[in-house]
Chains A and B, each alone.
Chain A
């Protein structure tokens, strides 16, 4: 049993078989996390560096916990407190760290394609993308898929709605790749300014600008964060107006004739893309997603560690 890849750069380069292996392995790690001692010795010979060039709470803690639960040694690196501010290049930084005998790199970077660049120069090191710019966030898509399967049993034929800032969301892109590969139906909803014009043709997804109709169609609504930090022009008039037209509220959910699953990758802008009473409601699995994130990341690290080769 092994993955067809040495790195996890994005969902785009995974086969459906790889995705199934990761998700079924994560299932077993989820059981490990329920034990009195939530730790296995599998990666005790592996050293992992977490390179975070961009801020993160959930993903970083989740990766770090996953590594510790696997008994790996970890080093944390954040760009703000390092020599990056003295002008060191990405490749130099990584090569310096690797010369201290590190086996895996988990990286988040604000530039799309940064992990792919590293993978090209360092083919023998397992590289895990923890989010690159507006490109992909593969482990988030995997944990979203895991959470859907946990609730519904499978992805095949499932109707998944992604709401909001599709344009700037790496979570959206990874989710689209994964859901399409695993046979789910995907619909996008949000203001036209935040949905790329040709995405419908590019990914064979549906686009519905009327949120009420979109909610009526779906089984799962994955509400995305409005990424104000990545928007360099005015794409909607105000947060208040966005909330009125595209915010997921209890009133909107009352208007459809079924109970759908509510997901959000976090961090939540309460009262903007989702109202507090919806985020904290019974049908929301937002905190479960966070819980599942550790199991999914354990599975990814475990499966990639199998390909460990002798260091440079």
Chain B
């Protein structure tokens, strides 16, 4: 077990990502932020808090997306579906998907599928806290990334919100 990001580092990383997400966005009102259930939601919530404090007058468009019904491993195991709260149409909008750890890329593949059912976005970008760069099974890369690390498949990367740290288990 090894600590990848301490509490202070994690806070700084999330703050940096939040700044990056909005620094090039001239039209913030055309962006929909989407946290991926279940764990991406927790990162996304923190980022939304940071962005909200930067732009206190602005009403952020934010929702969470559950990808359970779009998974490609349904016949191996059923997962518990969680809430989806995308209430506005994403037609013609720029969507930024937010997740905690990017690993095989299969969750993002499913999320891209799921997004289609809410309209045709103008552009989709991906923001992740941790990018496990060696283990991709699909051609998917993040546009915004907190920390990129090289891991072996048998290792496990976990964001522990109770201790506010990122831990890597061997």
Contact = CB atoms under 8 A, between A and B. Distances in A.
A121 to B, nearest CB: 24
Nearest to A25: B81
Given A1-B79, A302-B69, A42 B74 contact: yes
A45 B75 contact: yes
B69 to A, nearest CB: 4
Interface stretch (B19-27, B97-105, B114-122, B153-161): B114-122
Given A28-B81, A306-B74, A39 B117 contact: yes
Nearest to B68: A28
B102 to A, nearest CB: 22
B70 A306 contact: no
Interface string B54-95: 000000000000101110001101111111100001000000
B113 interface: yes
Given A35-B117, A35-B118, A40 B78 contact: no
Given A40-B70, A42-B69, A31 B75 contact: no
Contacts of B75: 45, 306, 308
A31 B74 contact: no
Contacts of B70: 40-42
A interface majority secondary structure: loop
B119 A36 contact: yes
Contacts of B66: 28
A39 B117 CA distance: 8
A37 B84 CA distance: 14
A303 interface: yes
Contacts of A24: 80-81
Contacts of A25: 80-81
A182 interface: no
A45 B77 CA distance: 15
Interface string A50-73: 000000000000000000000000
Interface string B4-37: 0000000000000000000000000000000000
B15 to A, nearest CB: 32
Given A28-B66, A36-B119, A41-B70, A2 B82 contact: no
A303 B78 contact: yes
Contacts of B84: 28, 31-32
Top 8 closest pairs, chain A to chain B, by CB: A40-B69, A28-B81, A37-B117, A306-B78, A1-B80, A42-B69, A35-B117, A1-B78
18 contacts: A25-B81, A28-B66, A28-B69, A28-B82, A31-B83, A36-B117, A37-B117, A37-B118, A38-B117, A39-B117, A40-B69, A41-B69, A41-B70, A42-B69, A42-B70, A42-B74, A303-B78, A305-B74
